[in-house]
């Protein structure tokens, strides 16, 4: 009888529903290998703090989330797991032929504005952002995040120390991201006609997401996309190139214009990057009036075939840009091509069209630098101080980029990367005196991208940073947060200690030694939040 009474008392004190719930705060590192957090955080005013929380419940159904403890904006994201592989450093054939371990990563982030989500009866990852308001008071504030499901509730507790500093809005930050856009890939995923009304809605949504991570560049192409791996219908070209019966060319810029204007209406008002002038596969395309078919020609810069196609185009395109008031914003972009051929191409462009600008992503070549207005290079490149000063004094832009070639121990923005590396890369770029960071693909989606990010030729996450239906990634949210750290560094840039801390991040061995790299990142964060 005593045993039964004891069980009854236990049930009254701790209902089964309560026993079935659990919530815990974790460190923002690798959520597929989670490490518990001490729950103590530091921020400026108007500065977001990202906190991963694992919620577990044996019951399915609606969960209501609430936040208390300080005057702050509170956002909730439900993180969905996506299949990924550990294939960093493997591209193309090496990736296609390789066999790599896989893992489920909580990367697809679905915002929950109403602060509710449906429990799956097992466990789910959540990411919360706490952002003290600009007029909030400074101090250390305990906070509580509560999860109410059915008649039971579980809470996690932490504290946020708010410094007496106000962070500027990110759109005021003189530091940008440049993610190359793949609108045709979006149309293929949704199985809709490129440049249809529905497609334009998705394109507008894409630009809105880009603007929130300080995107300043509009990615355009002459044909269908940056790489044009297959021939598509003529009316799907961004700039429709038609060869008439008399051998001359006619160009229709309707889609190009609408694309640029839509981007600008969403707040992306910087440069217009134009690709396809020196593509990887060497092909150019046009619609042939005589045969009513799309024709392709494989050629290289410097050949008569190349110049007979591109010279009339650049002449017409340059005049069109002037009429639209975009000429000064246009950059003819070359992606990791032979530097000597790129130099010859740049000289030809400058000779024929002196006011057109060139961009280049690839290793740093001093002989090429003077010809390139926008130069993006890998993180392991060390630019001579004199060469960097020349670029800064001539107002040329320089950025850092990562690719599939970085090895597993090197920083990247992959699904299997440690999130601390995103902070390292952004701060490293700023420490080097660069203007921003570049990534080759914002949304080159496979048909299964919402659940499976294993690609045939690149590591998981290399080709996408957001998901369909307006959902972002955990990496996207961390990048936003990393930009806030750059803003803090800028705000303290006049301090001698800031220069010392920035220089310490550029130590070359940090690129290859994870433990030392993460220590350096934490030291910088401690300094910025001091």
Cα 24 from chain centroid?
28
Question: pLDDT-derived band of residue 274, with 50, 70 and 90 as boundaries?
Answer: very high
Of 238, 266, 270, nearest to 252 (Cα)?
Answer: 238
Residue 137 in this model has a pLDDT that exceeds 60? yes
- Per-residue pLDDT tens digits for 495-522: 999 999 999 999 999 999 999 999 999 9
Q: Following DSSP, what letter does each residue of 20-39 receive, concatenated?
A: TEEEEEB-SS-TTS--B---
| Residues 156 and 101 sit within 8 Å (Cβ to Cβ) | no
Instruction: Look at residue 321 and tell me whether its pLDDT is greater than 90.
Output: yes
The whole-number average pLDDT for the span 65-81 is: 97
3-class secondary-structure state, position 364: coil
For the segment 275-280, the average pLDDT, to the nearest whole number, is 96
Residue 445's pLDDT is: 98
Q: What is the pLDDT of residues 13-51, one digit of tens each?
A: 344 444 579 999 999 999 999 999 999 999 999 999 999
Predicted pLDDT of residue 6: 40
- pLDDT, mean of residues 127-147: 97
Element (H or E) spanning 306, and its range? helix 304-324
As to burial, measured by CB atoms within 10 angstroms (0-12 exposed, 13-18 middle, 19+ buried), residue 13 is exposed
Per-residue b or e along 31-55, where b marks 16 or more CB atoms closer than 10 Å to that residue's CB: beeeeebebebbbbbbbbbbbbbbb
pLDDT recorded at residue 19: 52
Q: In whole numbers, what is the pLDDT of the chain averaged over residues?
A: 95
Sequence-distant (≥ 6) Cβ neighbours of residue 200 within 8 angstroms: 258, 262
Domain segments of the chain as ranges: 23-166, 173-220+271-281+320-528
pLDDT at 18: 47
Q: At what angle do helices 420-431 and 514-528 cross, to 10 degrees?
A: 70
Coil, helix or strand for 504? Answer: helix
Instruction: Tell me how far apart the alpha carbons of residues 390 and 383 are, in angstroms, rounded to a whole number.
Output: 11
pTM over 0.75: yes
Average of pLDDT values for 61-86?
97
CB 55 within 8 A of CB 91: no
In this predicted structure, the answer to whether residue 334 has a pLDDT above a threshold of 90 is yes
Q: What digits encode the pLDDT tens for the residues 415-469? A: 999 999 999 999 999 999 999 999 999 999 999 999 999 999 999 999 999 999 9
141 DSSP β-pair partners: 160
- Cβ(126)–Cβ(78) under 8 Å? yes
Q: How many CB atoms lie within 10 A of CB 174?
A: 11
- 351-404: per-residue pLDDT in tens? 999 999 999 999 999 999 999 999 999 999 999 999 999 999 999 999 999 988
The answer to whether the CB of 162 falls within 8 A of the CB of 43 is: yes
What is 23-166's CATH number, 3.40.50.300, 1.10.10.10, 2.60.40.10, 1.10.645.10? Answer: 2.60.40.10
The answer on pLDDT for 484 being more than 50 is yes
**With left for phi above 0 and alpha for psi between -120 and 50, is residue 170 left, alpha or beta?**
alpha
Give the helix/strand (H/E) hosting 263: helix 254-265
Distances (CA, A) of 192 to 20, 198, 253, 259, 446: 44, 8, 21, 17, 15
Cα gap 146→149, rounded to integer Å:
10
- For residue 20, what pLDDT is reported? 79
What is the phi/psi pair of residue 440, to 5°?
Answer: -75, -20
pLDDT above 70 for 288: yes
Distance separating alpha carbons of residues 269 and 205, to the nearest angstrom: 16
DSSP per residue over 196-239, as a string?
SHHHHHHHHHHHHHHHTTTB--EEEESSSSSS--S---GGG-SS
pLDDT band at residue 132 using 50, 70 and 90 as cut-offs: very high
Whether pLDDT at 7 is above 80:
no
From 292, 306, 278, 299, select the one nearest 233 (Cα to Cα): 292
């Amino acid at each position: 009888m005593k045993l039964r009474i004891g069980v009854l008392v236990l049930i009254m004190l701790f209902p089964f529903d309560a026993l079935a719930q659990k919530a815990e705060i974790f460190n923002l590192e690798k959520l597929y290998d989670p490490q518990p957090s001490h729950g103590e955080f530091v921020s400026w005013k108007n500065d977001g703090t990202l906190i991963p929380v694992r919620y577990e419940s044996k019951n399915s159904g609606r969960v209501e989330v609430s936040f208390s403890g300080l005057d702050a904006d509170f956002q909730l994201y439900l993180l969905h797991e996506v299949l990924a592989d550990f294939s960093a450093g493997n591209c193309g054939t090496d990736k296609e032929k390789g066999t790599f371990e896989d893992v489920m990563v909580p990367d697809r982030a679905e915002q929950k504005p109403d602060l509710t989500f449906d429990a799956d009866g097992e466990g789910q990852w959540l990411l919360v952002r706490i952002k003290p308001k600009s007029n909030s008071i400074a101090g250390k504030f305990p906070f509580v995040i509560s999860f109410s499901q059915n008649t039971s509730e579980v809470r996690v507790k932490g504290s946020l120390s708010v410094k007496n500093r106000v962070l500027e809005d990110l759109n005021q930050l003189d530091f940008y991201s440049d993610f190359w856009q793949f609108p045709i890939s979006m149309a293929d995923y949704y199985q809709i006609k490129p440049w249809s009304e529905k497609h334009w809605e998705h394109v507008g949504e894409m630009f809105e997401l880009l603007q929130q991570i300080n995107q300043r560049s509009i990615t355009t192409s002459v044909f269908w996309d940056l790489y044009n791996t297959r021939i598509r219908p003529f009316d799907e070209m961004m700039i429709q190139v038609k060869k008439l019966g008399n051998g001359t060319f006619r160009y229709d810029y309707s889609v190009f214009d609408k694309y640029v204007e839509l981007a600008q209406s969403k707040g992306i008002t910087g440069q217009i990057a134009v690709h396809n002038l020196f593509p990887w596969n060497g092909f150019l395309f046009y619609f042939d009036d005589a045969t009513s078919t799309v024709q392709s020609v494989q050629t290289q810069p410097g050949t008569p075939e190349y110049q007979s196609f591109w010279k009339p185009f650049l002449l017409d395109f340059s005049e069109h840009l002037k009429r639209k008031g975009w000429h000064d914003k246009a950059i003819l972009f070359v992606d990791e091509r032979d530097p000597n051929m790129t130099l010859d191409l740049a000289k030809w462009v400058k000779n024929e069209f002196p006011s057109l600008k060139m961009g280049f992503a690839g290793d740093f070549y001093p002989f090429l630098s003077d010809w390139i207005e926008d130069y993006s290079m890998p993180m392991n490149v060390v630019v001579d101080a004199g060469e960097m000063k020349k670029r800064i004094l001539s107002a040329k832009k320089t950025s850092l980029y990562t690719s599939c070639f970085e090895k597993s121990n090197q920083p990247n923005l992959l699904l299997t990367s440690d999130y601390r590396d995103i902070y390292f890369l952004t701060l490293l770029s700023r420490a080097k005196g660069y203007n921003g960071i570049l990534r080759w693909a914002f949304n080159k989606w496979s048909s299964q991208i919402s659940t499976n990010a294993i690609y045939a030729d690149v590591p998981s996450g290399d080709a996408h940073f957001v998901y369909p239906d307006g959902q972002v990634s955990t990496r996207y949210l961390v990048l936003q947060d990393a930009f806030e750290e750059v803003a803090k560094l800028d705000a303290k840039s006049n301090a001698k200690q800031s220069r010392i801390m920035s220089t310490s991040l550029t130590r070359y061995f940090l690129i290859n030694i994870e433990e030392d790299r993460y220590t350096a990142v934490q030291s910088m964060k401690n300094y910025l939040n001091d």
